[in-house]
Amino acid sequence: MNYSDLIPVIRRLAIEAGDKIMEIYNSDDFDVKVKSDASPVTEADEAADALISAGLRAAFPDVALVTEEQADSHEISAERFLIVDPLDGTKEFINRRGDFTVNIALVEDGVPTRGVVYAPAKQRMFYTDSVGHSVEETGPFDAAEAGETQPIRVSEPNNDALMIVASKSHRDQATDDYIGKYNVKDSKSAGSSLKFCLVATGEADLYPRVGRTMEWDTAAGHAVLAGAGGHVVRFDDHTPLVYGKAGFANPFFIAYAPGVDLKEA
């Protein structure tokens, strides 16, 4: 995989998908269906998925593709694969809260090595460059040509005054109990994979997830955080979160800036 070829493609597809999503988001009404796992799906999920999938298959026909909206792809087993959540944070989209993202990542040998996270309603975009360092591009965003970027880096945490970010739609008592083990200066909520990006930029120090996620929810954000110097580990034993698992379901996990004194579950 030539990373110099990959990054412009996934960046462009994320912006094009974001444009399609915003077209539907800003319409008077849109259809919402319920999938077999009881999660919602909208016409924006499906339109973004079709656009991204076609673009990735055309550009990288020899690389396996896993995407949330194509159940057949969930049977794939490969050491290297592209993984897509075309609209992460569908509940945020339906409720018109803006905290939704387009996620595209490359996984190699169990590790998300490159990725892009684009939040079109928030006008924020984060991605890894060709050498694996993470940047934030400042808008307005043009699919054809990259704009100005700035390197991003995790914080140097103060364990007496930590900044925490947690899920907006899935926060529960177990999450609050775990956060309670830390000395917290401030806690904020965010939707979708934006939480990884807030740790990557130093806007938060710690993101614990005590709840179900899938690899397509986390791979792109994980890649961006890793490229900014951060880590993602399993909640139970603090070993690295790995990808390519059968069924693509994640265990509970913790995303954090090195220097955070991690507490036991």
Cβ(228)–Cβ(134) under 8 Å? Answer: yes
Kindly report, as residue ranges, where domains of CATH 3.30.540.10 are found in the chain.
3-151
List residues forming the annotated binding site for Mg(2+). 68, 85, 87-88, 217
Instruction: Give the Cβ contact number of residue 189 at 10 Å.
Output: 14
Cβ(47)–Cβ(20) under 8 Å? Answer: yes
CATH H-level, domain 3-151: superfamily: Fructose-1,6-Bisphosphatase, subunit A, domain 1 (3.30.540.10)
User: For the segment 190-214, what is each residue's pLDDT rounded down to a tens digit?
Assistant: 888 999 999 999 999 999 999 899 9
Q: Which two tokens stand for residue 253?
A: 């996990």
List residues forming the annotated binding site. 68, 85, 87-90, 217
Cβ(108)–Cβ(1) under 8 Å? Answer: yes
Q: State if pTM tops 0.75.
A: yes
List residues forming the annotated binding site for substrate. 68, 87-90, 217
User: For the segment 102-125, what is each residue's pLDDT rounded down to a tens digit?
Assistant: 999 999 999 999 999 999 999 999
pLDDT number for residue 169: 67
Cβ(179)–Cβ(208) under 8 Å? Answer: yes
User: For the segment 66-76, what is each residue's pLDDT rounded down to a tens digit?
Assistant: 999 998 999 99
Kindly report, as residue ranges, where domains of CATH 3.40.190.80 are found in the chain.
162-256
Backbone angles phi, psi at 253, to 5 degrees: -150, 170
Domain 162-256 sits in CATH 1.20.120.1200 = no
Cβ(118)–Cβ(111) under 8 Å? Answer: no
> Angle, to 10 degrees, between the axis of helix 43-59 and the axis of helix 3-25?
160
